[in-house]
Amino acid sequence: MKKYEFNRYIDHAVLKPEMTRDEVRDALRLGIDYKVKTVCVRPCDIDMAVEMCKGTETGVSCVLAFPHGTVPPEIKRMEAELYIQKGVDEIDMVVNYGYIRSKMWDEVERDIKAVSGVTRPAKVLLKVILETSQLTEDEIMKATECAINAGADFVKSSTGFYGEGATEKTVQAMLKAAGGRILVKASGGIRNAEQARKFLDMGVSRLGNGFSSTPVICNGSE
């Protein structure tokens, strides 16, 4: 069995809308202590996260147009510009998956390009959240192709806030369409080392899990 340093694949999600400042601070500290790849935060917590992660092995990612993805591309671009100015290392944007379901592929690409046009020059990684639970396998594969064409760095399965999270079937569809041209992040419903290992063995490059699951996943590695 292949051994993984699970922490270095984890985007440690601190995204619950009801969290207090103290709760956010504690959750961020937990991720930093486990040396996760990034803490993934709400936009309102970027400043705190950047300050706390300074000088550590943990970077800062934030969500954009979260969790529905329905704001216009122009607003997504403005969000990206602000978050990059605040010092994030990575951005996880929700694509307009209503456009995907409508087969509006040019609009899907335009939606993503609005953000990649900002992230690429800034050398900030862009992950595109597809919300795969709402899509067919064909839609997932076509949306992955759109993300490639639009210059994104990752496709990501789920927000974790709507429908089923990452599944073997949906992740396999993303990996098949990616064909090594874009990285894949499995996110949503990953709560233990067994699930984490399954997706890493499939070939994903990043895992997204809620902050409370990080100790369970990391302590399950041997």
Q: Of 92, 111, 127, 153, which is the active-site residue?
A: 92
Question: Is 113 designated active site?
Answer: no
Residue (of 82, 155, 149, 146) closest to 119 by Cα position: 82
Question: Is 54 designated active site?
Answer: no
Instruction: List the beta strands (DSSP E) in the chain.
Output: 10-14, 38-41, 59-64, 90-94, 125-129, 154-156, 183-187, 206-210
Other CB atoms within 10 A of residue 84 CB: 18
Residue 65 sits at the vertex; the CA angle it makes with 63 and 68, to the nearest 5 degrees, is: 110
Question: Is 185 designated active site?
Answer: yes
Residue with tokens 């192709």: 145
Active site residues: 92, 156, 185
